[in-house]
Amino acid sequence: MRAAHLAAVTALPAGLWRLALVAGLHAGYSDAGYRAVGFTGWNAVWPVALSVLAEALALLTLGRVRPWGTVPPRWVPFLGGRPVNPRRVVLAGALGAAGLTALWTPFLAWWAVPHPDLTPLGHLLVGFLYLPLAAWGPLLAAVTLSYHRRHRAAAPLPTA
């Protein structure tokens, strides 16, 4: 339960930072660096969309420990009111955990890489805001394994 709740908030610090950038705060960027990135007009859409999508996906981790992860509410299109296939949930969770781990583990070297568009304090700040993302994959893996253990008896193997 704790791992699921932690996984659900791992994307929040980085998402809030991106939203601050879109709102016009330099949030660690130098003036020239902020202008170069250009978070205005259509260039502001992708950080907002990424923040919302990442947090929505992180919140899906809670479905592995909540009742709606076994039978979604009726208002959910295509799935509502019908039991979900535990094997599909485990497969999606395992693939997601592997992908997130591969994506965010290299970020642990953030401080070893220069970022000239950021101020020194901004470099430190952004590193700590993105650091929780490195835990998202392993936390999702732990929650998915727990879900699998709880549901394997409920999903009988197909007979020949």
Walk along the chain (160 residues) and give the pLDDT tens digit of each residue.
999 999 999 999 999 999 998 988 888 888 888 888 888 788 889 999 999 999 999 999 998 898 888 888 888 888 888 888 899 999 999 999 999 999 999 999 988 888 889 999 999 999 999 999 999 999 999 999 999 998 886 555 555 5
SS (H, E, C) the chain: CHHHHHHHHCCHHHHHHHHHHHCCCCCCECHHHHHHHCCCHHHHHHHHHHHHHHHHHHHHHHHHCCHHHCCCCCCCCCCCCCCCCHHHHHHHHHHHHHHHHHHHHHHHHHHHCCCCCECHHHHHHHHHHHCCHHHHHHHHHHHHHHHHHHHCCCCCCCCC
CA angle 61/63/66 to nearest 5° reads 125
In tens, the pLDDT along 60-72 reads: 999 889 888 888 8
88 contacts 149 by C-beta, under 8 angstroms: no
Q: State the residue for tokens 């992908």.
A: 99
Phi, psi of 118 (to 5 degrees): -105, 150
> What integer pLDDT is reported at residue 90 of this predicted model?
93
The number of residues in the chain equals 160
Which residues are within 8 A (CB) of 4 and not within 5 positions of it... i.e. 6 or more apart?
61, 62, 64, 65, 139, 143
